[in-house]
Amino acid sequence: MKSRGLVNVDTKDIWNLEPQKFDTVLFMMNGIGLVKTLEGLNVFFEHLKKYVTPDGQVLLDSSDLKYMFTDDNGAYWLDLNSNYYGELDYNLKYKHLVAAPFSWLFVDFERLKLAAENSNWFVELIYKDDHFHYLVKLTLRH
C-alpha cells in the first residue's frame, strides 16, 4: 500500500488501538471474524466509529457457511435450537504444538447488514460470488 502512495498505513489490533481517525479501515480474509459472535457484531460496529473519518470507509469480507449444511437436493439442514451456524471454534495444531481454541465468526450478508445498519452504518454490497463469499463497504450515516 505504501508503494502505491498511501501515506499512513498501519497494522494494529483494533481492540487495543488508541482512538484515531482513518479514511479507510480494512478487515480482509474474513477479518470480521474477530468479533467471534453475532452479539460481537453490535459491539464492533459501535467501537469502529472511533477509527473512521466522517467521510471514511470500512471494507470487510465474510462468507456465509450455509453451503456446509446443504443436502444433495439443495435444501438447508440447520439446527434452529443451537447457536448461529457461523459461530465457530477453531483449534490449531502444527506437529506437536497445539494452540488454545478460539472463536471466529462467519456471517451471512443479511445479518451483517442488519447489525451495521442498527449502528448507523450504510452498507454497500460490492462483490458476491457463487460460493457465498462477499465484500462490503461501510460508511457512517450523516
Q: Which tens digits make up the pLDDT trace of 117-130?
A: 999 999 999 999 99
Q: pLDDT (tens digit, 9 = 90+) per residue, 51-84?
A: 999 999 999 999 999 888 787 887 777 777 788 9
Separation CA 22–CA 14 (nearest Å): 12
pLDDT of 93: 94
Q: Considering the chain, what percentage of its residues have pLDDT values greater than 90?
A: 70
Separation CA 60–CA 30 (nearest Å): 7
Give the residue among 142, 128, 138, 127 at the shortest CA–CA distance from 47. Answer: 138
Q: How far is CA 26 from CA 80, 96, 130, in A?
A: 32, 34, 23
Q: Considering the chain, what percentage of its residues have pLDDT values greater than 70?
A: 100
**Which one of 3.30.1360.120, 3.80.10.10, 3.40.50.150, 3.30.9.10 gives the CATH number of domain 20-140?**
3.40.50.150
CA angle, 53 as apex, 8 and 46 as ends, to 5°? Answer: 115
> Does 44 score more than 90 pLDDT?
yes
Q: Is 90 helix (H, G, I), strand (E, B) or coil?
A: strand
Separation CA 133–CA 142 (nearest Å): 29
> Does 23 score more than 80 pLDDT?
yes
